Structure 1
Amino acid sequence: MTARAYLERGVGLALAVVVVTLLVGQLLGQPILLGYVATGSMEPTMSAGDGFVAVPAAVSGDIEEGDVVVYDARELHDGGLTTHRVVEVTDDGYVTAGDANPFTDQDGPEPLVSDGQIVATAWQVNGEVVTVPHLGTVVMGIQGIVTTATDAVGQVLGLATDDGTENAGALLVGVGIAMLAFGTLFDQFGPTRRETRRSRRRANVIGFWVALGLVLLVLVTFATAAMVVPAGTSEYGVVSTDSPTDDPQVLAPGETGELTRVTDNAGYVPIVAVYEAQSSGIETDPNWQTVGVRDDAETTVSLTAPESTGEYTRHVGEYRYLAVLPPTLLVALHGVHPLVAIAAVNGVVVGVVSLLVIVLFGTGDFRIRTTGDHVPLSTRIERKLRKWR
């Protein structure tokens, strides 16, 4: 393969990574590796439509004054994601503001930002945010076209809801999968370029390690999604008042109330759920538990009202791991870092599946035999049915 061919493949792979990360980020509601700003509130650091490299909160470390963070706002932008700079760190949370704004977010209706609300941090080098000019402009343009198209198709198919978001998103995923399948079929069976050199590849033969790698990629993707997607941060409100009620969230200053939290496992593999307080004045008991197949479990959330009266928010983070290792080991690995526990689970999945495939099929390449086009479809179906008699 020539240097030009390697370059073309590298550029294609980079573009694929950009597209996938942006799409997955949109589906999950948080930026993954790449994000963008839609307004000019961060000028001159980032202009409207500029992209940036987003470091997930799980690996970004402690938040410091001067960091540019992406947080899930409660009031701003109707509760959507907001990318602003941390201008002050307090014991109760972070004060944030857009570089172009003469006021902070907390000067308005937005309360202090807690660690549980932060989903990513913009990557900075020597104090400067690493930006990708106009990336967001392109993405928003494509998103507008896709939204219009999915709304039109959704109405025809009767899939659109009142707000057109949930089913439209599902439809978008379905269309994406269909396009991927079509592209694969076209690549395999469509017209090909004329080969100018002799190929050593064998027709209708799939290498064992290639096939195994594809299977493992799919399984690891689903395993990771099963752990990451249901996890997240839960928000609890607490009112500190001189007139408390029976409501466990309306308390006298310094008083503690208790709530019951239910963790559901809709999957067919037991999970280990780990809970972490992501703000002061909140605790869970137990801090972790195992939830069986298609079962649920309860944990107690304790809220303590601050000494100063007012309304406050508290956050608890939930982390999930497939129970393919002893629960205590998973909890210990989680204590090192959540990504370490996820990697350990995926390592077990890879090891077990690889061993099963090798035991059942060996390590030989897979040959796909195709029947000639001259054989009628009915005859081919009849031959298939004979094998099952």
Structure 2
Amino acid sequence: METVQRTLATTFGSRAFLGSQGLALLVAGAGALVLLVGALTDDRGRQRRGGDRDRDRNRAGVYDGLKLAAALALIVALSASGTMLSLSGTEEYGMVSAEFESDSPTTVPVGERANLTYPALNGGQLPVVAFYEPASENVGVAPERIRLDRGEQRNVTVTLRAPPETGYYPQYVTEYRYFAVLPVGVIAWLYGAHPWLPIVATSGVLALPFLVVGVVVLRGTVRTRRRSGTGGLL
């Protein structure tokens, strides 16, 4: 299980798959997979309506190919969506508006600005497109959009602006990451409409090949049978 967790974390560049939280996600995902595939493919308990085709599909070891493909496509789409959501998040910068100079980058003299560097790293195997936007009024970020290939790191500049009044002002920058399977311009257009739209579109593109395979290759039924005396599947 630890090997699976490390492999998924490396592939998708997310620590959400590690530790007890990652183990819980894997167990929940495995349970959902079993329930989903079982619900879509197990027709043995259904009432038979006659016809050789229906009777054939109700036999043990006989599955509907289109339903199998649909189940796989749904699993891929849900996994991709969950991973992109785990890669996104909000970063907090605890800014202090002060009347004195300080070596701390988050302590900014009243009415002045300070720049911080946020290292954006893609630790996964798939290229991503990242968007950054201020989530509070006294912070800015540039660039607002970057593309990161596998293992690539780029610096994002976060600008903190100290208000006229002294005090502690937590500032926030929100990051959204999407797998770069669509053109960057298309992702940007979808992101401009709503940050969740690129997740839906990207997940659909990743799941589409499984649906195509289901329609073209797995049309009809898929049969499995056991080899006599070995228990293996043919």
Report the TM-score, using the length of structure 1 for normalisation: 0.47
Select between 197-206 and 327-336 the one with higher mean Cα deviation. Answer: 197-206
Structure 1: distance between partners of 2:37 and 2:229 = 21
Question: Can you list the C-alpha shifts for 1:60-119, whole angstroms capped at 9, x where unaligned?
Answer: xxxxxxxxxxxxxxxxxxxxxxxxxxxxxxxxxxxxxxxxxxxxxxxxxxxxxxxxxxxx
- Residue 288 in structure 1 maps to residue 153 in structure 2: no
Query: How many equivalent pairs are there?
Result: 210
**1:331 aligned to 188, 191, 202, which one?**
188
Instruction: Give the alignment partner of residue 279 of structure 1, picking from 136, 140, 144.
Output: 136
CA gap 1:201/1:300 in 2 versus in 1, 3 angstroms: farther
The answer for the alignment partner of 2:229 in structure 1 is: 375
| 1:316 aligns to 2:173 (yes or no) | yes
Shift of 1:232: 0.7
Residue 212 of structure 1, aligned match among 69, 72, 77: 69
User: Are 1:233 and 2:90 an aligned pair?
Assistant: yes
Cα distance in 2, alignment partners of residues 239 and 340 from structure 1: 36
Query: Is the Cα contact below 8 Å between 2:73 and 2:207 reproduced in 1?
Result: yes
Query: Which residue of the other structure, out of 211, 220, 225, is the alignment partner of 1:365?
Result: 220
Partner of 1:267: 124
Contact 1:234 1:316 in 2 (8 A): yes
SS in structure 1 at match of 2:196: helix
Evaluate the alpha carbon distance shift between residue 184 and residue 290 of structure 1 in structure 2; reply closer, same or farther with a 3 A threshold: closer
- Tell me how large the CA RMSD over aligned residues is: 3.3
1:173 offset after TM fit, Å? Answer: 4.2
Residue 229 of structure 2 aligns to a residue in which SS? coil
Deviations 1:112-135 (A, max 9, x none): xxxxxxxxxxxxxxxxxxxxxxxx
The answer for the alignment partner of 2:4 in structure 1 is none
Structure with greater Cα Rg? 1
In the alignment, does 2:78 pair up with 1:221?
A: yes
RCO higher in structure (CA 8 A, sep ≥6): 2
2: distance between equivalents of 1:324 and 1:272? 9
**Aligned-partner SS, 1:306:** coil
Q: Deviations over 1:21-62 (max 9, x none)?
A: xxxxxxx9xxxxxxxxxxxxxxxxxxxxxxxxxxxxxxxxxx
Q: Which amino acid aligns with 1:362?
A: V
By how many angstroms is 1:325 displaced? 1.4
The alpha-carbon deviation at position 198 of structure 1 amounts to 5.9
> Once the two structures are aligned, what percentage of the paired residues are identical?
28
State the partner residue of 1:85: none
Gaps of at least 5 residues in structure 2 are 1-15
1:252 — aligned with what?
109
**Counterparts of 1:220 and 1:366, CA distance in 2:** 23
Report deviation, 1:254: 1.1
Query: In the alignment, which residue of structure 2 is the partner of 1:346?
Result: 203
User: CA offsets, 1:3-35, max 9 Å, x none?
Assistant: xxxxxxxxxxxxxxxxxxxxxxxxx9xxxxxxx
3-state secondary structure, aligned to 1:229: helix
- Paired with 2:166 and 2:187, the residues of 1 have a C-alpha distance of 40
- What is the rounded CA distance, in whole Å, between the counterparts of 1:213 and 1:263 in structure 2? 35
- Secondary structure in structure 1 of the residue aligned to 2:80: helix
Q: CA deviation at 1:291?
A: 0.7
Q: Is the 8 A contact 1:205 1:365 kept in 2?
A: no
Uncovered stretches (5+) of structure 1, i.e. residues with no partner? 1-27, 29-165, 385-389
Which range moved further: 273-282 or 173-182? 173-182
